[in-house]
Each structure stands twice: as structure tokens, then as C-alpha cells.
A and B are shown apart, each in its own frame.
Chain A
Amino acid sequence: MEHIRTPKVENVRLVDRISSKKAALGTLYLTATHVIFVENAPDTRKETWILHSQISTIEKQATTATGCPLLIRCKNFQLLQLIIPQERDCHDVYISLIRLARPVKYEELYCFSFNPKLDKEEREQGWMLIDLSEEYKRMGLPDDYWQLSDVNRDYRASICRSSQPLSGFSARCLEDEQMLQAIRKANPGSDFIYVVDTRPKLNAMANRAAGKGYENEDNYSNIKFQFIGIENIHVMRNSLQKMLEVCELKSPSMSDFLWGLENSGWLRHIKAIMDAGIFIAKAVSEEAASVLVHCSDGWDRTAQVCSVASLLLDPHYRTLKGFMVLIEKDWISFGHKFNHRYGNLDGDPKEISPIIDQFIECVWQLMEQFPCAFEFNERFLIHIQHHIYSCQFGNFLCNSQKERQELKIQERTYSLWAHLWKNRADYMNPLFRADHSQTQGILRLPTTPCNFMYKFWSGMYNRFEKGLQPRQSVTDYLMAVKEETQQLEEELEALEERLEKIQKVQLNRTKVKSKQSEPSKHSGFSTSDNSTANTPQDYSGNMQSFLSRSPSQGDEDSALILTQDNLKSSDPDLSANSDQESGVEDLSCRSPSGGECVPSEDSGKDRDSDEAVFLTA
């Protein structure tokens, strides 16, 4: 690998960035696809794997007495701080990573070397899983030119999308005007159509000077024009940057956090996107009007808004498969510029913007409001976000369908959808109620302005700070209960069959009843749930008088650590499994009945101690 200046550096320390506790000593490896840190601790030899394509920024900080710090920020919101003893090594790693994190050819991306050991046929089938022509048939459309959300079959109202018209101050286009007429006429239920411009009005007006702009209501008959101010990609990029700075704060006070979050504007932007989606969903469902949506180019805000509206209107998109279809349709096939927005190849940093991240967050905000409406769970969203950046699967490569075809993506890479579908058991929402009246039709949000429904998504942006997340998962617990119920039912059935046989052969002395005690074996999972208990953080602040030694935090580091096996299964979130393992460890050494904890044992295990210093004096 010509870009790797040094493949291995020893005696590197991995700093726990929130904690002030001792860093883990280990060896850093650079491979063609990953940065790998392996801890020296002989009993664990913990591994941290980072895909080059996940690396967002690399920062070399001023050398200190202990070595040269290197800060790696990832696109999936992981943050790694390494201290490399020799400045020269650090420089080599830095230079290598700068290059490795910014490939110049698609062929350098991980998906072209990633091999999940499937044969050709399986791979092809994987790509067939999501078939858009099927989707248009489902919507009752023979014509695949418009995207249409056809929940409102009686009215034939539709959602259409385009880019801005090149109107300038006075230009007209008769054909375009006729086109809009045609859309209106296609829907006999309404005598007007909405044209929704998702930009702030000021931006749209500024575009006029450049010969672009928006529809003149005088020229188009029977349109209702509506601006919905969603900011542009540059504002969104800066907003995310500011929010991530807040997430990185070391033990922020409640005020630091809330002010920082507000100043980032992030939740305000999320709300703007949701509001636009809600407006369109209402126009279609309540006024039975067709809606034409556009922004400037028609592939960012338009994609966000149309897909939010579709989710609100059509329960199909709230299923596991339907959601894949929605992303395939509104994002991949309509030319959302994945490569530019998510910086897969080295390019203009000003093109990068978290557009689909915002859509994914909108879905999460809806899931929080409607816990029974979605077939999939939060993990599904997090894993999709992860893979949009990982470049491990071919789905999100390039900027358009055309480019993907030229690259022969389907012949050379694997499809994420097949992978997610295979593991769908992990992504199910146990609370999903397909039958419930609330989840069947349109999702109706409260009519009163409800700012409170927009919450900070710590499960995404603080994903790798396990200590900040709820320590027990309701989803996993309920899925386990459901599975157990199913097993019990199967066993019961088997027992019934056996009984029947026994009766047939008249084996009177067989004791069947003893079998009935078996189900209790399965209750095992409940104890493992308990084991997710944790250890305290530093609640004492800088009151040194209180704690002579730092309290232990336990082994909640797991999500950081990608072991090779897990990587092969391409699971971006190993928290569930490894958390429980570490919990078991915890249980054994720190059960209350065990009495005092032994300090030496603590400092050995203690990864996240002082994870956050909660109370500043």
C-alpha cells in the first residue's frame, strides 16, 4: 500500500476523551481499509477498528511531554484521541491517514474489496431485493415519471418534485406551465395545485438575479405558491458542526448544553424539514390537492421533504422493507449526490452536508412521537446512517444512477439492503402495531405547535458514549420476551404432538408431566438483562477531598471496539452484545454482596471512569 508510510506504531495510548483516567496502551496498525488499535492488556487485547471512509477529520495537536496527540473524528460521530510517543511516527500516521481517508477513485473504497463470502447468485439476489418498478406498481402507477404517494386513491392527489424554474425576473416557459396544468388535471379532486418552494423566500429571490428563481403565480394558472424556509446545505453543515462541538464538551452544565444546542440551530432545522413534510402531507390528505415540491436543484431539501411527507402519508414506508424502498426511490434513484454530500471521494468540502442524516433524524423524531407506528427500531436508522458513510456496500456510491451503472456497482459490490434484511430480527420494533388505527393511515401530528417534540438524539450523536444512553434496552428485552413466547409455543405444540403419539401407542406409564418444567430454562435472558447494571461516574466534581481514588465506570467501551469477527458480519453497532458481556463481568466482581470493590481491580477494568465529571464546583 503506497499510501501507508508506517503500518505499525507501538506504545500508542488511546485516551478516553471524556474521562481523565489513564489511557489504554497498545499498538496502532494502518491497513488498506482500517485504522486498528489493539490494547496491550493481555487478558483483553481489545481492538478498535475504524474504517478509513468513516474518518471525517484528523487533527494533529501540539506535542507534549507524553507524546504527540492525534484526534480522529468520524462521520458516525465516533471520536478517537491517540497519543503517539514519537513526533515522527505521528506525522507519518497523520500523512498516511490524510490520504487514506480521502480516496480519489471509487475503486479505492471498501466496498470493492469487502467480501461477505456470498456467491454471485446471492449477490445478485441481494440487489434484486428492492425493486422500484414493483414499488410504482404498488402505488398504482403505470407511469414511472412522477413520484406519487397514492394513499389518497379517491382523490388521485400526488406529490411531484422538480428543480427550480429558470425564471429570472421575467422568463416564462409555456411547456412548463402546461406541465403543471397537466398535474393539476390529473387530479380531478382539486382545482388547484400547491407549488412548494422549500427555500427561505430571500434565497429564492436571490436566485432570480442568477436567472433562476420560482414560479410566477400570474403565469401559472391555479397554483398556490408556498415558501417553506429550509436553510441550504452550508447552513446545515455548520449547524451540525456546532452541535457536535456541544456533544464534545467535557462535563457541560445544563445551561452550556441547552444554549449550545439552541445556538447550533440543529433542532430548528429538523423542525423546518418536518413542518414542510407535514404541510405537504396535509395538502394531499386533507385538501386533496397535488403538490409540486422543489428547492434549487431538487435533490436535497426536496428529497428530505418528499420522503418525510411520504412517511406521514403511507404506512408502507414505515415498514422495514418500505423504508428501504423510500430511500432507494427518493434518494438513490432521484440523484441525491451521495458522493458529494458525504465526501466518499476527496472533493470540495463545501459540498459536504448532513442532508440524509437530517432525514434519518426526522424519522427518529417521528418514532419517538409514535412508538407503535414503525416496524423498525432506532438501531435500523443508526446502522443505515453508518453505512451511508462506511462505503462498505455499493448502494450509496456516486452522485447518480448513471454513474453507478457505469461503474457496474451491482456486479462489483454488495447491497446493504440484503444485509439488513438478512439481519432483520435485530431491527424490529416490538411495539409495532400494524393493526392499530393510529398506525394504519396517515400519521397525524398535533395541530398545536409542538416544539417539545423535538429532542436531542443522544442515541445517534453520542452513540459511542454508552454511559450517556439508557442502560437497559426496552426493545431488546421485549424482543427477547417475544422470542421466548414463540419458543414456548413451539415447545407446547411439540409436547402436544408427543402426547398424541403416546396416546396412540398407549404407553400408559410414560410420565409426560415432567416435561412441563422445561420452559423455565428460557427465562435465562432476564438475568442477563440485569447485568447491564453499571458503575458510578464521578459525581463529586473537582471536590478532591471526597474521592481518594477514581470511581470505576466498568467496561462500557464496547461500541468503540470492532473485533474482526464483528467486522466481518459488518455490524456497525456492537453495543448490545458486548455491553452485556461487560455487564456480566461487572456482576461477578461488583455484586453488592461482594462487599467493597478492590481498587486495583477497578483500575484495571476501569475504562470509562470519570467518564464525565458531573459537578463543577
Chain B
Amino acid sequence: MTESRTKLGVEKGCVNQLVGTDEDLQRQLAQTILKEKKDFKISIHLATSLPLPAERDHIRPRIDLIVFMINVQSKYGFKNIEASLAHVDANFFLGKVCFLVTGVGRVNHCSVDMSAVRKLGDVYCSPLVFCELELEGIRISTAQRLLRMLQICAGHVPGVSALFFSSLMRSSNDE
């Protein structure tokens, strides 16, 4: 959809989809991303689960990057994300999906096994990014990483495709 729009002369844009049950953190991250300086248009869609409501399908632009926010302190949230993954079109898993993992710092409150999280990354061939979003500094650097990924996934960086980039990220994770 975005392709045809570009042909019509509409400004090139990137669309980011955040999926996760922790609303406050999701919103904070989204606002941090929006604050970052960039030279392209961006819109961020927030949802707690997939599939997205069908009634908005006709006005929704093509999504460039899906970020699943996994909070290892919430088993309920993790199960939600596992269920949502089934609704994602296979094409996205060629580099346009990434897992953001938070809550690892508080070891006593972890309800989700780390091996289950890593397995998710393996099964869906998508990179895991670990961060603690409560701290502003880390939130900003995470936002910058995501923006960079978004640019690549939207095809704005010549010579680097989404698939290539994600395979780079994954091979470094598998050390």
C-alpha cells in the first residue's frame, strides 16, 4: 500500500507496530521514538495483541516493522505474544519482526523462562533486543536502534535489506 502511495507523490514514510500488554512502557517507548530527530515521516501503531481490528484495515498503511515487547515478568503477556505471532503474515519474518525483551534485571520477578524467549527468537528467525525501558538513557538508545532498524526495513537505506540486517543481528546473538 505504501508503495502505491509513493508513486502518487505522497511523502515516503515508515510505519512501526508495537505489540505488547504493558501499555505504559509501550507508550513511553513510542513517545521516545517520536522525539528522536529523523528526516523521514514515521507513524507508530500500538496494540496489545494481534490480529489488529479488521475495521481499520482499509485506512492502515503497510507496516514496515513489528516490535513485540516481551516482559519476562509477565507470563500472561508472553502467552499473549505467542498467540499474536500466529496472526503475522510469513513475509514479516524475513527481517521485519524483532523482539524487545524487558524485565530481565529483576531476577526474582521473572515468570518467563529465558530459554523460552530465546526459542521464540530462533523459531521465528527474528532478533532479540534486551533493554530496561524505565531508564531514560537506555530508552533513548533503544529508540535509536529501533529507528535505524525501521529505516532499513522500510527500504530507506540503500544496499542494506531487512533480511540482510536481521541475519547480521542474529549471528552476533548466537555467539
Are these two chains actual partners, yes or no?
no
Write the residues of chain B forming the contact surface with A, with a CB cutoff of 8 angstroms.
none
Write the residues of chain A forming the contact surface with B, with a CB cutoff of 8 angstroms.
none
